Amino acid sequence: MAKGISHHTDAELFYQMKEEKAIAEQAFGELYARHSPRVFAYCRRILGDRDRAQDAFQDTFIKFYQSAQQERIMTNVPAFLLRIARNLCLNAQRTKHQTVQFEDFHASMNDESAEKAELLKLITTALELLPEDYREAFVLREYDGLSYQEICEVTNSSMATVKIRLFRAKQKIREILAPYLADLAK
Protein backbone atom coordinates (compact mmCIF):
# COMPACT_ATOMS: atom_id res chain seq x y z
CA MET A 1 0.00 0.00 0.00
CA ALA A 2 1.36 3.42 -0.93
CA LYS A 3 2.22 5.49 2.09
CA GLY A 4 0.37 8.74 2.72
CA ILE A 5 1.91 12.02 1.74
CA SER A 6 2.57 12.92 5.34
CA HIS A 7 4.86 9.89 5.69
CA HIS A 8 7.21 10.97 2.94
CA THR A 9 10.50 12.53 3.94
CA ASP A 10 11.30 16.11 3.05
CA ALA A 11 13.78 14.95 0.43
CA GLU A 12 11.26 12.60 -1.20
CA LEU A 13 8.72 15.39 -1.39
CA PHE A 14 11.33 17.76 -2.80
CA TYR A 15 12.00 15.40 -5.71
CA GLN A 16 8.28 14.88 -6.24
CA MET A 17 7.95 18.57 -7.03
CA LYS A 18 9.57 17.80 -10.39
CA GLU A 19 6.85 15.36 -11.37
CA GLU A 20 3.45 16.00 -12.93
CA LYS A 21 1.43 18.92 -11.62
CA ALA A 22 -0.96 17.05 -9.34
CA ILE A 23 1.88 15.26 -7.55
CA ALA A 24 4.05 18.38 -7.45
CA GLU A 25 1.17 20.39 -6.01
CA GLN A 26 0.57 17.86 -3.28
CA ALA A 27 4.24 17.61 -2.42
CA PHE A 28 4.65 21.37 -2.32
CA GLY A 29 1.59 21.72 -0.12
CA GLU A 30 2.98 19.20 2.32
CA LEU A 31 6.39 20.87 2.49
CA TYR A 32 4.74 24.25 2.84
CA ALA A 33 2.67 23.04 5.76
CA ARG A 34 5.74 21.55 7.41
CA HIS A 35 8.12 24.44 7.05
CA SER A 36 6.21 27.66 6.41
CA PRO A 37 5.96 28.58 10.12
CA ARG A 38 9.70 28.51 10.69
CA VAL A 39 10.43 30.33 7.42
CA PHE A 40 7.93 33.03 8.27
CA ALA A 41 9.25 33.29 11.80
CA TYR A 42 12.74 33.81 10.41
CA CYS A 43 11.64 36.52 7.97
CA ARG A 44 9.39 38.16 10.54
CA ARG A 45 11.96 38.40 13.31
CA ILE A 46 14.94 39.18 11.09
CA LEU A 47 13.24 41.93 9.10
CA GLY A 48 10.94 43.23 11.82
CA ASP A 49 8.54 44.78 9.33
CA ARG A 50 5.55 42.53 8.66
CA ASP A 51 4.98 43.58 5.04
CA ARG A 52 8.60 43.08 4.06
CA ALA A 53 8.65 39.79 5.93
CA GLN A 54 5.60 38.67 3.99
CA ASP A 55 7.25 39.56 0.68
CA ALA A 56 10.43 37.71 1.55
CA PHE A 57 8.42 34.73 2.79
CA GLN A 58 6.41 34.50 -0.44
CA ASP A 59 9.50 34.81 -2.61
CA THR A 60 11.25 32.14 -0.58
CA PHE A 61 8.66 29.50 -1.38
CA ILE A 62 8.37 30.52 -5.01
CA LYS A 63 12.16 30.27 -5.44
CA PHE A 64 12.10 27.02 -3.49
CA TYR A 65 9.64 25.51 -5.94
CA GLN A 66 11.60 26.83 -8.92
CA SER A 67 14.83 25.40 -7.57
CA ALA A 68 13.18 21.99 -7.27
CA GLN A 69 12.75 21.98 -11.04
CA GLN A 70 16.54 21.87 -11.44
CA GLU A 71 18.82 18.92 -10.87
CA ARG A 72 19.85 19.12 -7.25
CA ILE A 73 20.77 16.81 -4.43
CA MET A 74 18.65 17.61 -1.39
CA THR A 75 19.65 16.55 2.09
CA ASN A 76 18.19 19.18 4.38
CA VAL A 77 15.07 20.95 3.17
CA PRO A 78 14.57 23.32 6.13
CA ALA A 79 18.17 24.47 5.96
CA PHE A 80 17.82 24.97 2.22
CA LEU A 81 14.64 26.98 2.69
CA LEU A 82 16.24 29.13 5.37
CA ARG A 83 19.24 29.79 3.13
CA ILE A 84 16.88 31.11 0.45
CA ALA A 85 15.01 33.14 3.05
CA ARG A 86 18.28 34.48 4.42
CA ASN A 87 19.46 35.71 1.01
CA LEU A 88 16.13 37.40 0.38
CA CYS A 89 16.15 39.01 3.81
CA LEU A 90 19.69 40.28 3.28
CA ASN A 91 18.58 41.84 0.00
CA ALA A 92 15.59 43.39 1.71
CA GLN A 93 17.78 44.83 4.44
CA ARG A 94 20.09 46.34 1.88
CA THR A 95 17.30 48.09 0.05
CA LYS A 96 15.48 49.53 3.02
CA HIS A 97 16.24 50.68 6.46
CA GLN A 98 14.86 48.45 9.04
CA THR A 99 11.71 49.51 10.79
CA VAL A 100 10.25 48.21 13.96
CA GLN A 101 6.60 47.32 13.90
CA PHE A 102 4.46 45.47 16.33
CA GLU A 103 1.24 46.57 14.74
CA ASP A 104 -0.73 43.37 14.82
CA PHE A 105 0.92 41.47 17.55
CA HIS A 106 -1.53 39.64 19.67
CA ALA A 107 -0.56 36.86 21.99
CA SER A 108 -2.43 33.88 23.30
CA MET A 109 -4.90 34.18 26.09
CA ASN A 110 -3.91 31.22 28.22
CA ASP A 111 -3.05 31.34 31.85
CA GLU A 112 0.13 33.28 32.36
CA SER A 113 -0.32 34.59 28.87
CA ALA A 114 -0.30 38.25 29.76
CA GLU A 115 3.03 37.92 31.50
CA LYS A 116 4.55 35.89 28.67
CA ALA A 117 3.12 38.22 26.07
CA GLU A 118 4.76 41.11 27.86
CA LEU A 119 8.05 39.26 27.96
CA LEU A 120 7.71 38.34 24.30
CA LYS A 121 7.19 41.95 23.37
CA LEU A 122 10.33 42.84 25.26
CA ILE A 123 12.30 40.06 23.61
CA THR A 124 11.24 41.08 20.13
CA THR A 125 12.13 44.65 20.96
CA ALA A 126 15.49 43.51 22.31
CA LEU A 127 16.04 41.48 19.14
CA GLU A 128 15.75 44.66 17.10
CA LEU A 129 18.56 46.14 19.15
CA LEU A 130 20.95 43.25 18.52
CA PRO A 131 23.59 43.23 15.79
CA GLU A 132 22.24 41.44 12.75
CA ASP A 133 24.47 38.38 13.00
CA TYR A 134 23.61 37.90 16.67
CA ARG A 135 19.92 38.26 15.95
CA GLU A 136 20.13 35.79 13.11
CA ALA A 137 21.82 33.17 15.26
CA PHE A 138 19.23 33.63 17.98
CA VAL A 139 16.29 33.36 15.56
CA LEU A 140 17.69 30.28 13.82
CA ARG A 141 18.22 28.58 17.15
CA GLU A 142 15.24 29.65 19.21
CA TYR A 143 12.62 30.22 16.57
CA ASP A 144 13.63 27.75 13.87
CA GLY A 145 15.05 25.10 16.17
CA LEU A 146 18.19 24.54 14.12
CA SER A 147 21.15 22.74 15.63
CA TYR A 148 24.51 24.49 15.86
CA GLN A 149 25.70 22.53 12.83
CA GLU A 150 22.66 23.53 10.79
CA ILE A 151 23.14 27.16 11.74
CA CYS A 152 26.73 26.87 10.49
CA GLU A 153 25.44 25.57 7.14
CA VAL A 154 22.79 28.21 6.73
CA THR A 155 25.04 31.12 7.67
CA ASN A 156 28.29 29.76 6.19
CA SER A 157 29.98 30.30 9.52
CA SER A 158 32.27 28.23 11.67
CA MET A 159 31.03 26.35 14.70
CA ALA A 160 33.01 28.61 17.02
CA THR A 161 31.49 31.73 15.46
CA VAL A 162 27.99 30.35 15.77
CA LYS A 163 28.49 29.44 19.40
CA ILE A 164 29.87 32.87 20.24
CA ARG A 165 27.09 34.71 18.41
CA LEU A 166 24.44 32.62 20.05
CA PHE A 167 25.88 32.97 23.50
CA ARG A 168 26.34 36.70 23.16
CA ALA A 169 22.88 37.15 21.67
CA LYS A 170 21.27 35.49 24.66
CA GLN A 171 23.44 37.36 27.09
CA LYS A 172 22.63 40.67 25.41
CA ILE A 173 18.94 39.96 25.56
CA ARG A 174 19.33 39.02 29.22
CA GLU A 175 21.14 42.26 29.88
CA ILE A 176 18.47 44.31 28.15
CA LEU A 177 15.72 42.50 29.95
CA ALA A 178 17.57 42.08 33.23
CA PRO A 179 15.10 43.91 35.47
CA TYR A 180 12.15 42.13 34.00
CA LEU A 181 13.72 38.66 33.92
CA ALA A 182 14.88 39.01 37.49
CA ASP A 183 11.30 39.54 38.62
CA LEU A 184 10.02 36.75 36.43
CA ALA A 185 12.65 34.25 37.58
CA LYS A 186 11.79 34.77 41.23
State in angstroms the smallest separation of the CB of 94 from another protein: 22
Q: Which of 15, 20, 128, 133 shows the shortest CA–CA distance to 80?
A: 15
Cβ atoms of residues 121 and 105 within 8 Å: yes
Any contact of residue 143 with another protein (CB under 8 A)? yes
The number of residues that bind another protein (CB under 8 A) is: 61
**Which one of 49, 86, 144, 165 is in contact with another protein (CB under 8 A)?**
144
- Cα–Cα distances (Å) from 165 to 67, 104, 135, 146, in that order, read 30, 29, 8, 14
- How many other C-beta atoms lie within 10 A of the C-beta of residue 82? 28
Pattern 38-77, another protein, x by CB under 8 A: xxxx--xx----x---x--xx--xx--x------------
**Which one of 82, 84, 123, 152 is in contact with another protein (CB under 8 A)?**
123
**Which one of 117, 128, 133, 157 is in contact with another protein (CB under 8 A)?**
117
CA 40 to chain centre: 6
Any contact of residue 137 with another protein (CB under 8 A)? no
Cβ atoms of residues 45 and 127 within 8 Å: yes
Please give the torsion angle defined by the CA atoms of residues 41, 46, 47 and 50, in that order, rounded to the nearest 10 degrees. 20
Residues that bind another protein (CB under 8 A): 4-6, 21, 25-26, 28-30, 32-34, 36-41, 44-45, 50, 54, 57-58, 61-62, 65, 104-110, 113, 116-117, 119-120, 123-124, 141-148, 163, 166-167, 170-171, 173-174, 177, 181-182, 184-185
